[in-house]
Chains A and B, each alone.
Chain A
Amino acid sequence: MTTTAFPTTTLPAGAGDFFALTKPRVMRSVVFTALCGMLAAPVQLPFTLAFTAILAIALAAGSAGALNQWYESDIDALMKRTAKRPLPAGKMERETALQFGVALGVFSVLLMGLAIGLIAAGLLAVSILFYVLVYTVGLKRRTPQNIVIGGAAGAFPPLIGWVAATGSLSTLPLLMFAIIFLWTPPHSWALALLIRDDYAKGGVPMLPVVASAATTRWQMLFYAVLMAAAAVAPWPLGLAGATYGLIATLTSLVFVGLTAWVVVQRAETTPAMKAERVLFVYSIGYILAIFATLAFDRLTA
């Protein structure tokens, strides 16, 4: 980590700055997938405990986001996409962000332990530590495979949601984990192709920065095909019904088709990258649709 001079903070950070530090948009998708994992489980928790488990998962995601921003504030200051975050914008002291992130993380794990149990709390702690230590500190600045391995961090929430409800693991939550894990590379690299210059300016070795766009596009297709297989798998395995199977098959085929469209592109500059833009937007809708359908299918089975 390098030292970057930020604008001097003269006012204590406001509530909005703390909220921004938790990466609320990421937190929203974490809550959604965790809720789907919980709803897909064969055991339903009492409402209060389910609410507390989801709250703990949301707070853990907020903690990971805050600690990520604390560690990456030097990179964030260099990138257009992140320059307005509280730390690079000089709205908050770095020490405050660190204290907030650690306190939120410890609190979320204790809350999960109190309401649900040790296994769910342990998994929650592992997910925070994985995102912060393995992805943020260990991988992000060192390897173009950062988001491939780091994608596991984003895949934890449905697993934790399921474990919170059942107290154990089985095939379906592991498949849910695999879907997000394999979805992350094509999703993140579609964005990385669009803002490659921004990542290069921040010195982040994303795959499109260190390899050609063509290499990135082929790797995206590789993961998209694996992801499609994981997404459809619950149907033939008898873990989900025909409604899920048909929707998963159709939406996954579209995902792979859009990725194949990306592969045949030759564009190197952002304004011409329509296929990448379409895939990026579709990938967000796709993951929400897959998880919502799976939860609905299991609830109505």
Chain B
Amino acid sequence: MTPDPLPHSDLVRKRQRSRALVLALILGAFVILVFAISIAKIKAGMPH
């Protein structure tokens, strides 16, 4: 027996939630990356 498919609105919410999660992770990674770039440039004596 196959499980009942999710109602359409639930599917939409699920997609929106997963997109929001991916975006949050990307933004978090960006913050860490900018910090790491600043440190690397300071260490290398490059203008920042």
Using CB atoms and an 8 Å cutoff, list the residues of chain A in contact with chain B: 10-15, 46-49, 52, 55, 114-115
Q: How far is the CB of B15 from chain A (nearest CB, A)?
A: 5
* Interface of B, helix, strand, loop or mixed by DSSP: helix
Q: Return chain A residues, CB-CB under 8 Å to B8.
A: 10
Q: How far is the CB of B37 from chain A (nearest CB, A)?
A: 5
Partner of B40, one of A13, A14, A15, A49: A49
Q: Return chain A residues, CB-CB under 8 Å to B41.
A: 49, 115
- Do A11 and B40 touch (CB < 8 A)? no
Partner of B12, one of A11, A46, A55, A114: A11
Give Cα A115–Cα B42 distance, bound, in whole angstroms: 12
Number of A-B contacts (CB under 8 A): 34
- Do B15 and A11 touch (CB < 8 A)? yes
Give Cα A114–Cα B33 distance, bound, in whole angstroms: 11
- Do A48 and B37 touch (CB < 8 A)? yes
- Most A CB within 10 A of own CB, among B16, B19, B40: B40
Closest A residue to B41 by beta carbon equals: A49
Partner of A15, one of B18, B37, B39, B43: B18
Q: Return chain B residues, CB-CB under 8 Å to A47.
A: 40
Partner of B19, one of A12, A48, A55, A115: A12
Q: How far is the CB of A102 from chain B (nearest CB, A)?
A: 16
